[in-house]
Amino acid sequence: METQEAPGVESSPPSSMTTQLNDFHAKKNAAIKNRRHEASVAHRERMNKMRQTIQAVSREKFLKDGGNTEHIAQLQRLSELLQRKQDIEAQIDAQRLDLQAAYNIATKAFQVAINKRLGALQTG
């Protein structure tokens, strides 16, 4: 009976530790996701404001210069590049979150394996 109770007692703290570790990782991931989302939203707003400013300047320049097409083309190209940059950064953030989630899953699996091995060594 001692061998039956000992594994239950020994496995209880590691499962508690695993639960705490999982909770910690979940909270950390939520905080990271929120910070990245806030940063992404702020960045998107700055890029949109910059794009609107560029478009307003290009319209104003067009009206004043009677249609300086080279200048307008450069500003439109800059606006397109800013949009592309914003899209790429959004993709990078999404991939980073996916990699972080995969890392956390692997870490949890590793922790469970360590706890099982530790329990086996302590009872054996």
CB distance 110 to 22 below 8 Å: no
Low-confidence ranges of the chain (pLDDT < 70): 1-14, 58-67, 124
CB distance 85 to 50 below 8 Å: no
Q: What is the pLDDT of residues 56-73, one digit of tens each?
A: 776 666 666 666 777 777
| Report field, pTM of the whole predicted structure over 0.85 | no
CB distance 104 to 18 below 8 Å: no
Token pair for 49: 């404001």
| pLDDT computed for residue 67 by the predictor | 60
| pLDDT computed for residue 105 by the predictor | 92
Identity at 90, one-letter amino acid code: A
